[in-house]
Amino acid sequence: MAEEYLAKVMAEIDEEVLRRRSSGDLPKRVEWELDDLFLRYSPMAGRNGSLEDALGVVESASFIDPVVPVDSSRSGGALVKRTIRRASLWYMGWVTAQISRFAAATSRTLRVLDERLSVLQTEFDTQRVPVAPVIETEWAHGPGAWWVDRVLERLAGQGGRVVHAAAGDGWLVRRLTDGGLDAYGVEPRTGRIDRAEIEGLDLREEPVLDHLRAVAPEGLGALVLTGVVDGMTAAERDTVVGLAARTVAPFGRVIIHSLSGQGWISNDAPVEADLASGRPLRPRTWATLLGRVGFDVEVVDGPESLDYLVLAVSGGGEGIGTTR
């Protein structure tokens, strides 16, 4: 509620900013100088702010003034400076005019680039593929699901850190830590982990792929993905396979739970399944993908083949097996 109210107020403020900018009540050069001051002590990533801000700074700096200030704190200083200025103005004016012309041409070029980029951005936005949502069903994602004991059994005694995503309220992380594992969780959906964090679990609210990108090479003993890969696009799946290969240590494990094609179209699949850009892979496709990057893979089908579990261990060849 508070966040919605704030968003509304900030939108009104932004609208008013645009209106005032177009009114011309503040000379552009003054506005750019003020914004340049604003950016002077900005963070590294934010330095120069938006492209529009950066262009403003470039444009404000593109005129080189040959008429140098002559104020002086020494008596007679101003007179001396004024004399030097008068004597050298023809020379300074000739040089600065060329620099100003070059700077103006550069800033015009940047403006053209900005306009082209804006058009591309608009086109890109209309074709943007949303990030895969977390897909969870009541029967397949929770402490009572058929695959949970298999995962716990397979990970018993696993060394290194074990990460579970999507961790939800941390129910599986809690089971893993109770079993003596060094486990933590990642949850991309907002508002799910507060209580578990307070209880002392190591849970982070962040996108799963962003998290894996920030893991050290071979930093994980095991990676457990449930509800994460089902609706991924081909590009996201390639990324997750690559990141698994990079982050899981030798003899570490990758465990993936996914709905099957049949489970995906069942009536109790969540609406996110319809909205996702991707569709679940057949289990053997996962086996092939993980096998290509050096994992030994076993696939376990769930009851009625509505879902399946991929159990992979790093450091072997391309063994593929299926059990039911």
- Contact footprint for another protein (CB under 8 A): 1-3, 5-6, 9-10, 12-14, 16-17, 20-21, 25-26, 30-31, 34-35, 37-46, 49, 53, 161, 163, 182, 184, 197-198, 200, 202, 204-206, 210-217, 219-220, 247
Q: How far is CA 290 from CA 58, 198, 211, in A?
A: 49, 36, 20
Q: Residue 208 Cβ, how far from another protein at the closest point, in Å? A: 11
Q: For another protein, which is the closer residue by CB, 8 or 116?
A: 8
Q: Residue 16 Cβ, how far from another protein at the closest point, in Å? A: 5
Q: Residue 112 Cβ, how far from another protein at the closest point, in Å? A: 23
Backbone dihedral region of 126: left (phi > 0), alpha (psi from -120 to 50 degrees) or beta?
alpha
Q: Residue 301 Cβ, how far from another protein at the closest point, in Å? A: 31
Sheet bearing 161-165, strands edge to edge: 203-205, 182-187, 161-165, 220-226, 248-259, 307-314, 295-301, 320-323
Residue type, 250: P
Angle, helix 148-155 to helix 171-178, in steps of 10 degrees? 40
Q: Residue 276 Cβ, how far from another protein at the closest point, in Å? A: 25
Q: For another protein, which is the closer residue by CB, 218 or 301?
A: 218
Q: For another protein, which is the closer residue by CB, 204 or 279?
A: 204
Q: For another protein, which is the closer residue by CB, 138 or 206?
A: 206
What separation, in Å, do the N-terminal and C-terminal C-alpha atoms of the chain show? 48
Q: For another protein, which is the closer residue by CB, 200 or 315?
A: 200
Beta strands 248-259 and 307-314: pairing type? Answer: antiparallel
